[in-house]
Amino acid sequence: MRLFRSILEHLTPTIKESNMEISKEGISLIKKFEGCELKAYRCAAGVPTIGYGSTHGVTMDMEISQERADMLLLEDIEKFEQAVNDLVEAPLKQNEFDALVSWTFNLGPTNLKNSTLLKVLNSSHPDWNDIPAQIKRWNKAGGKVLQGLVRRREAEALLFEGKEWHEV
């Protein structure tokens, strides 16, 4: 009976018991690539944006304080942390989670949900070496490759691998 229980435990998928939260390192990456604008502007995809990339309810006539930009960032991050926690079945290290939250912050939960990146992560035997390449594929806005997105994806891929990304 003990052998049977051991085999069953080994074959039963592990259920993630806790929700992860982004670290200061992950927030630093988001801040570096989003920048902070206190007056509304149109991002590369043409969407009205303010603060560190906040888009919800933003109109082009908006202006906010630095304190409000910081609050919006933390509010926004919670949504993307939850998306990564809900969609990714594989256990993640902190640096991997941080990279995926940054990626999802920039691209949105729908893109994560429909991505090959997620399919690779959630496969029964994920190819962890393929994840950075999957992260880097998402370097376009409006159908055009943007160098800012190339750099951001490179930084996210390096963070995912636990490597130095600050110089990207």
- Catalytic site positions: 34, 43
Which tokens go with 105? 């912050």
> Within 13 Å and on the Cβ side, how many CA atoms surround 14?
11
- 85: Cβ–Cβ under 8 A, 6 or more apart, which residues? 16, 19, 20
Which tokens go with 59? 């109109």
Spell out the SS3 assignment of 57-119.
CCCCCCECCHHHHHHHHHHHHHHHHHHHHHHCCCCCCHHHHHHHHHHHHHHCHHHHHCCHHHH
**Distance of alpha carbon 138 from alpha carbon 154, whole angstroms:** 10
Q: Where are the beta strands (DSSP E) in the chain?
A: 37-42, 48-51, 140-141, 144-145
